[in-house]
Amino acid sequence: MKYSFIFGFMLTLLTLTAHCQTVADITQIALMKPGNDSIGVVAGDSAAQLIAILGEPDQISDYYSEIDEDTLKLYKYGKNNIFFLHDKLVNWDLSDSGIWVGAVHGQTFKVGDKLVSQNQNFRQKPGTRPTAQFLGFPVTHKTGISRNLHFDSACVLQLTKGAIQLDSRVELLFDRTNKLFSIALLD
């Protein structure tokens, strides 16, 4: 009986470990003007706050979202798209380095950055690629397609707001040269 309890406990512990996800707090992920990490705009902020920080967009248009079943306002900054629903920032899709992402007064990153940290996993099988990290977050080396974009590696951060788990995520996509080519806040 004692051994079955220990076995059950270990099996549960291993199962929970296997289902752990990388999480980040949405209030710590800001969009910033390049070179200025002292102020940023986060999900839920208004379009006026965005313009105060990033300046006037190249274009503003309406965008119908089938998921939200509503019309969003799309603010374009170069190849970067920022979406608002009822004047609240809800999603963004960044494809050029004209906007930085990160924590205000903290670590930032942008499209074009490269994977630089390769950590060898002590349980790694011979012949497999080392586990990569981008700013401390694990990166999966598995090719795929997301949002009609082909990628060679990806990092997906599940989002929370304090202790509340959200249905949103931040997705970082890397090409075969380990260059970050897409950063998106998705719901």
The angle subtended at Cα 146 by Cα 145 and Cα 149, nearest 5°, is: 70
Rounded Cα gap, residues 33 and 82, in angstroms: 14
Q: How many domains does the chain have?
A: 1
10: in domain: no
8: in domain: no
Domain that holds residue 159: 21-186
159: in domain: yes
DSSP for 122-173, written as a single string: TTPPTTSPPEEEETTEEEB---EEETTEEESEEEEEEEEETTEEEEEEEEEE
* pLDDT confidence bin for 44, thresholds 50/70/90: very high
pLDDT of residue 141: 84
Answering whether pTM is above 0.85, one says no
User: Would you give the DSSP letter of residue 17?
Assistant: H
The answer to whether the CB of 168 falls within 8 A of the CB of 159 is yes
Q: Return the amino acid letter for 130.
A: P
5: in domain: no
pLDDT of residue 51: 98
127: in domain: yes
Task: Check whether 73 has a pLDDT greater than 80.
Answer: yes
Rounded Cα gap, residues 177 and 152, in angstroms: 9
Task: Check whether 9 has a pLDDT greater than 50.
Answer: no
Task: Check whether 133 has a pLDDT greater than 90.
Answer: no
Q: Is 170 exposed, middle or buried (0-12, 13-18, 19+ CB in 10 A)?
A: buried
Residue 63 exposure: Cα atoms within 13 Å on the Cβ side: 19
Place of tokens 């990490």: 37
6: in domain: no
